[in-house]
Structure 1
Amino acid sequence: MSSVNKTAHPFDKARLEALLSHRFFYAPAFEIYNGVAGLYDYGPAGSALQANIIAEWRKHFIIEDSMLELDTTIMTPASVFETSGHVARFADWMVKDSKTGDVLRADHLVKNVLEARLAGDKEARGEVAQPAENEKKNKKKVKKTAVRLSDELVKEYEVILAQLDNYGGLELGELCRKYDIRNPDTDNKVTEPQEFNLMFASSIGPTGKFPGYLRPETAQGHFLNFSRLLDFNNGRIPFASAQIGRSFRNEISPRAGLLRVREFTMAEIEHFVDPMDKSHSKFSGVRDTVLTLLDRHVQASGSTKVTEMSVGEAVEKGVIANETLGYFMARIHTFLLKIGTNRRRLRFRQHMSNEMAHYATDCWDAEIENSTGWTECVGCADRAAYDLTVHSKKTGHPLVVREPLDHPIVTEKEVPVFNKKLLGVKFKRDGLILQSYVEGLNEQDLFKMKEELGKGATSVTINGKTFEITSELLTIERKTFKETIREYTPNVIEPSFGLGRILYTLLEHSFWSREPDIERGVLSLPPLVAPTKVLIVPISAKKEFEPLVNEISAKLRRAGVFSRVDDSSVSIGKRYARNDELGTPYGITVDFASVKNRTVTLRERDTMDQRIATLEEVIATVTELVEGGIDWTEACRRLPAYDGVQAID
């Protein structure tokens, strides 16, 4: 698409939000009942935009990497999340206003207050201009005042903000006390941080005795179906499963629109891999992809300085743990750019030790900068073997891979052999406890016990009870074992996408106002994801235009291009302007000359440039534009410029 000056007016969040509301991209759910915080409904434009993002996600990941797609249940028995650790650990730290009882998320409170103080310090030093009146309306997070801070305090605040994600409840409470951080809405002090579990509790069945939860992620459905997936994949590793679906988190204080909601759509991938080999067969195709990285060591030092580095170099240096993790980070990067994310506002931040999920050994977040700061939109974690191991242990179902060995492995080891008849007579029920204990001893302990039995007897103490064991009761023999099958629990690499966050940041990155009229908002959404691809604009609603308009619509439908007709009574300029707000990239104008000559004009949204050609040529060109086969520059080479007049022969 041709370049266009989109910086004539500063970004204005209030104008964007007004546009999104007016054009019904999304709106608060249950609005006529005063709404519920953190719940939103998507309108026609928002639904289409999300559907197009999902469609490209499926092509980019599921189809490109031959993934196995799932659709698992939302309602989940409590026992599943007790086993996975979510009941005990899936929580955020909250504080309460000491007088009103209002609840605030502790880390967000600290972040917003310190950022507001730093902004006030910059104003006091004259480093930034006073905000324009329309910008003042957007500063709802925390009221800032122009107060100069000491250089030492500025540095302390910057270090805290760089390390904030690594702080637990004790540290957050200490920060609130040390820096007098209060509820910005009331100026009241806040209580000590408390953990709040983010899952929605429910029950299954009419009795209410079978507890359950709404899932906070789709991942557990992959793990519980691992055996079936492995069988479907003919028992071969590696493979990936993927799922797109709803998840639920009972956010403490959702105040950032689509960035922090209680019900949302996730797209998650679970890539199962041999723990002894985390290479990736397609890594060579992405190794030169350059990422913007903020690693854990830089954050721990109190800095947020990023490094540009290729994926190949990052893996070689150990910055990124392994090839498979690096492969998916590169693929995430390519996907986000493809759908319209601004590359300069995209980075990968590595989790620090204290913020790492209980199941992860390494994790990077794809963060996208927006008007609220840097927001995690995609997480890419190495979950190791945690999930499959705990579910297998809990249920007794072996969630493992069994692979034939090319070369059998022959080993020798000490094996305890009990005289079970004598064992039962002598120890009765305790015999099973004793047998289980001895069979669980390591090679060294068994060898020591064997030496003692050779002298006649030995003893073991279990739970404070001592058992005397003779050589008639137990012998320990050295046996040879031949392994032809390798059995192991695979590791998991998990990319997890918050589609609502991606959608919102894309809208921010795409929004601008057309010079000189600041009221003319434009969404420069890529044709790939734009809700409507082509607007068909007859010059009037006269009947004589209907056959040609219907023909254009039908041909675009057959080409798979979604279009809309606007034959309303307002001017063509206004019709195009309101569709610029919807992000529609192309427009086809039909006038009297079109009816006579079968020529139409093609308009490009960002430049408002217009081209003229036959109906067939324009439809062929716009189809290639929408499919990404050509760009607007190439379209201009094919189609002559329109000078504003269509001659009627």
Structure 2
Amino acid sequence: MTNYVDFDPSRRLLVRRRSQLALQSLTMDAVEQSLRKALAEKQSAVETQGNAVRALKAAATPASKPEIDAAIATLNNLKLEKSSIEKQLQAHITDAGGDGSFSKEAFRQAVVNTLERRLFYIPSFKIYRGVAGLYDYGPPGCSVKSNVLSFWRQHFVLEENMLEVDCPCVTPEVVLKASGHVDKFTDLMVKDEKTGTCYRADHLLKDFCNEKLQKDLSIAPEKAAELKHVLATLDDFSSEELGAKIKEYGITAPDTKNSLSDPYPFNLMFQTSIGPSGLSPGYMRPETAQGIFVNFKDLYYYNGNKLPFAAAQIGQAFRNEISPRQGLLRVREFTLAEIEHFVDPDDKSHPKYSEVANLEFLMFPRDEQMSGQSAKKIVLGDAVSRGIVNNETLGYFIGRVYLFLTRLGIDKERLRFRQHLANEMAHYACDCWDAEIECSYGWIECVGIADRSAYDLRAHSEKSGVPLVAHEKFSEPKEVEKLVIAPVKKELGLAFKGNQKMVVESLEAMGEKEALDMKAALESKGEVDFYVCTLGKNVAIKKNMVAISKEKKKEHQRVFTPSVIEPSFGIGRIIYCLFEHSFYMRPSKAGDEQLNVFRFPPIVAPIKCTVFPLVQNQQYEEISKLISKSLTAAGISHKIDMTGTSIGKRYARTDELGVPFAITVDSATSVTIRERDSKHQVRVSVEEAASVVKDVTEGHRTWADVWSTFPHHSSASADE
């Protein structure tokens, strides 16, 4: 539970998942509640009937055998009914997969086993027993990652004319001090009081609650509801609240059962030093965004001193996780792709907004979360026009993110955009949405899309002394009225001491109406309660602590700090969800085993095509090599398999890698092209094979078009 106080809690992916306080998560769903109630009643009936049987047997005047047998039969029936309810409850908690054949855990294990066996990814430093939270991508994994990033560049950088930069991973401390990371980039940690082993505090509490809910079926409905409430509000717990719950539930160290220390903050950044003296401290960057912000002045000049414009960066980020878990979803080194779109705060329209306005997809606005509803499909244009989404530019990027993810192969029915609740957003943020993808671990935040206002540029301007601003020149001088908020830092320091900075920032971030209301209240009462988001409480502001006024000036140009719309992509998380969404199993031809298949779209498939000589034959092998050269010339990644094993087994091997097309050489003049998911085959000439595969993999034509154009081929060997 990363404790961001000075900067936007939507800051994401490379950090912790923010609190999701949807009210429907605070209580059990109706089915589970009903089953738990029924189980408790049946348990009570079993105990009552058991006592009745014992009483009959122990009576001074023994009951008749038929009477005792009838009572025992009733008891056995009650036990069977109790067992049936337990199974229903366990099945509901386990939440079986689509066809009921896989639990989430079993499905996940099948996916992970396949990924590791086929070397999509493996634990790093495996021969030395590995290091938690670090993974290597193998050959097919590298290809998938490269294809995802290539499509990201095409979809965003090229199509939106963004300025791409590449900044160092090692970042001077002063930069991350200005951004707030040095002071506030923390998770709460506890230690085994005897061994010193460290654990992430919220993970221990979360695991305890989940285990009780899943394994203790006799738990009372009220207690189960309490545990679900804890799970839903966990990210909002303070260190004191977290420590109190750990003690209340008697949670101990998982490995030793020793008692635990009170929770305390642990900074998640990897610290280093720059240069041999060790006097210049630095950190491995926890995000790529700061490199863009500090380069704003030069990028603005490069763009002809014009707004809006966007800068983008793909690169590694680092987070020293206390207890990494969930495979690729929470790691210590990962790839981020981030966009910082700089825009005039007074004009957040977007010229291409109409291209996405008619998209309809699952959205989860904060009002629906607070009222206990579920995500529902909303037309993006309606969400913007109704003010659910703050502005056109933010809406435009939400739409573009939706198109990016669904074109990659993410199931649109398991993709939603969740709006941050008011208590999740920093005082300077206008609006924040997370693209969440459902997988076996639940709903996972994979992309954050936030309107961060002008906070980042202002923070770096103040710390560096270099104004990071934009200019709008007027054709004629204008008389403008400006709101001036001048906190009296000396008085605020005396009153709030170490919290002075947070109070000052909150005062300076006030909107015009709020500031003028405060001015009127101070003039009439001399004191006013003021909510400081980063402190999470009201403070008393007195008249001598802040001066608020409106001044008229003649200006030749408008100088302002741009607002930032920031889409931030956790590439590893997206790839893992893509793996799960693409994975399925189908029976072999003989029906004696289940075959693994990844249904990757051609755009992300690690290999686009395989080439098989039907049998080991010199002529067929020469033709295969000729087709391979044509595919290479066309830029299509492919693989030749001349192992001589059965064609069915070769198909199965490549289906497991997610290869969408296979060319089988079975004559000197023509070949067959097989499509992975339908297993349909068409016959084309040797000369046409490479161009057909190129057209369909690059999206110039569909498989349906190919199927309707070329002669169909059927063969027993085609169906493994």
User: What is the aligned partner in structure 2 of residue 601 from structure 1?
Assistant: 672
Tell me if 1:565 matches 2:646.
no
Q: Does 1:238 align with 2:333?
A: no
Q: Deviations over 1:534-575 (max 9, x none)?
A: 000112344323431122112222222211111113222111
**What is aligned with 2:690?**
619
- Corresponding residue number in structure 2 for 1:318: 387
Q: TM-score, normalised by structure 1?
A: 0.80
Q: Is the 8 A contact 1:580 1:605 kept in 2?
A: yes
On the 8 A contact 1:165/1:352 being kept in 2, the answer is no
Q: Which residue of 2 aligns with 1:260?
A: 330
Q: What is residue 433 of structure 1 aligned with on the other side?
A: none
Match of 2:209 in 1: 114
For 2:266, the equivalent position in structure 1 comes to: 196
Further displaced range: 521-530 or 168-177? 168-177
Q: 2:270 aligned with 1:175, yes or no?
A: no
Q: CA deviation at 1:347?
A: 1.5
Which residue pairs with 2:615 in the alignment? 540
Q: Deviations over 1:243-262 (max 9, x none)?
A: 11111111111121111111
Find out whether 1:396 has 2:480 as its counterpart: no
Is 1:283 equivalent to 2:353 in the alignment? yes
Correspondence for 2:134 among 31, 36, 39: 39
Which is helix-richer, 1 or 2?
A: 2
Which of 573, 579, 590 is residue 501 of structure 1 equivalent to? 573
Q: What code does the residue aligned with 2:560 have?
A: Y
Aligned with residue 703 of structure 2, among 632, 635, 646: 632
Q: Does 1:334 align with 2:409?
A: no
Question: Is 1:486 aligned to 2:555, yes or no?
Answer: no
1:555 matched to 2:611? The reply is no
Correspondent of 1:157 among 227, 235, 255: 227
| Deviation for aligned residue 1:532 | 0.2
Match of 1:251 among 317, 321, 324: 321
- Cα deviation, 1:33-62, whole Å, max 9, x if unaligned, reads 221111111111000000000011011111
1:444-480 alpha-carbon deviations (Å, 9 max, x no partner) = 9xxxxxxxxxxxxxxxxxxxxxxxxxxxxxxxxxx99
Aligned counterparts of 1:196 and 1:636: Cα–Cα separation in 2: 58
Q: How many residues are aligned here?
A: 548
Deviation of 1:86 after TM superposition, in Å, equals: 0.5
- Give the match's secondary structure for 1:506: helix
1:91 pairs with 2:162 = no
Unaligned ranges ≥5, structure 1: 121-144, 414-443, 445-478
Structure 2-normalised TM-score? 0.72
CA distance 1:311–1:499, change in 2 (3 Å): same
Displacement of 1:411 in angstroms is 5.8
Q: Distance in 2 between matches of 1:482 and 1:255?
A: 58
In the aligned structure 1, how far is the partner of 2:259 from the partner of 2:602? 50
Task: Kindly indicate whether the alpha-carbon contact (under 8 Å) linking 1:513 and 1:522 is maintained by their aligned counterparts in 2.
Answer: yes
Whether contact under 8 Å (2:624, 2:665) holds in the other structure is yes
Instruction: Report sequence identity in percent.
Output: 49
Could you say what secondary structure the match of 2:623 adopts? Answer: helix
Counterpart pick for 1:307 among 342, 359, 376: 376
Moved more, 386-395 or 348-357: 348-357
The verdict on how the C-alpha distance between 1:321 and 1:270 changes in structure 2, with shifts beyond 3 A counting, is: same
Comparing 98-107 and 558-567, the one that deviates more: 98-107
Match for residue 16 of structure 1 among 82, 92, 111: 111
Give 1:504 deviation, angstroms. Answer: 0.8
Q: Residue 77 of structure 1: which of 172, 181, 205 is its match?
A: 172
Deviation at 1:189, TM superposition (A): 5.0
Opposite residue 530 of structure 1, the aligned amino acid is A
After superposition, the CA RMSD in angstroms is 2.5
Distance 2:697 2:252 in 1: 51
CA contact (8 A) 2:107 2:440 kept: no
The corresponding residue for 1:370 is 439
The verdict on how the C-alpha distance between 1:157 and 1:412 changes in structure 2, with shifts beyond 3 A counting, is closer
1:30 aligns with 2:129: no
My pick for the range that moved more, 182-191 or 348-357, is 182-191
Deviation (angstroms), 1:578: 1.1
In the alignment, which of 130, 146, 149 is matched to residue 51 of structure 1? Answer: 146
Confirm whether residue 274 of structure 1 aligns to residue 274 of structure 2. no
Contact 1:6/1:512 (8 A) holds in 2: no
Residues 627 and 689 in structure 2, CA contact (< 8 A), matched pair in contact too: no
Q: State how far apart, in whole Å, the 2-side matches of 1:612 and 1:6 are.
A: 35
- Once residues 573 and 34 of structure 1 are traced to their aligned partners in structure 2, the CA distance between those partners, rounded to angstroms, is 36
Go from structure 1 to structure 2 and tell me whether the alpha carbon gap of 1:354 and 1:105 turns closer, same or farther (over 3 Å shift): farther
